[in-house]
């Protein structure tokens, strides 16, 4: 994903989820890499990938891996619990 694609994705999340917060639980840095374990929270207020606003609060766990070059992020990868998000906004049924 290039910078423009990343910005588009960020705009989609901003439009779909209000009051979003990143709560950093831990960070580890080694050489040019920083790994961040975090919780992301928000309120589902707009269409998200065709799923209408549920007005439900959401909370998902995530892990971000960032590589820095000359003090700037050169590479960014995030692992998020998409299935958990979809259950919370009512797009998928909860596990039995």
What confidence tens digit (pLDDT) does each residue in 19-77 have?
A: 999 999 999 999 999 999 999 999 999 999 899 999 999 999 999 999 999 999 999 99
Determine the Cα–Cα distance for residues 12 and 45; give it in Å rounded to an integer.
12
Determine the Cα–Cα distance for residues 93 and 67; give it in Å rounded to an integer.
36
- pLDDT tens digit string along 86-95? 999 999 998 8
Can you give the CATH number for the domain in which 55 is found?
3.10.450.50
- pTM for the model: 0.81
Q: How many domains does the chain have?
A: 1
Tell whether 94 is covered by a domain.
Answer: no
Tell whether 95 is covered by a domain.
Answer: no
Range of the domain at 42: 3-88
On average, the pLDDT of the chain sits at 93
Q: Which two tokens stand for residue 7?
A: 């910005």
Tell whether 96 is covered by a domain.
Answer: no
Q: How many CB atoms lie within 10 A of CB 16?
A: 20
């Amino acid at each position: 994903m290039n910078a423009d694609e990343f910005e588009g994705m960020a705009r989609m999340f901003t439009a779909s989820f209000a009051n979003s917060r990143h709560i950093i639980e831990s960070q580890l840095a080694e050489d040019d890499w920083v790994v961040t374990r975090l919780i992301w929270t928000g309120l589902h207020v707009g269409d998200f990938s065709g799923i209408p606003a549920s007005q439900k609060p959401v909370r998902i766990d995530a892990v971000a891996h960032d590589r820095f070059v000359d003090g700037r992020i050169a590479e960014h990868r995030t692992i998020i619990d998409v299935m958990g998000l979809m259950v919370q906004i009512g797009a998928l049924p909860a596990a039995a």
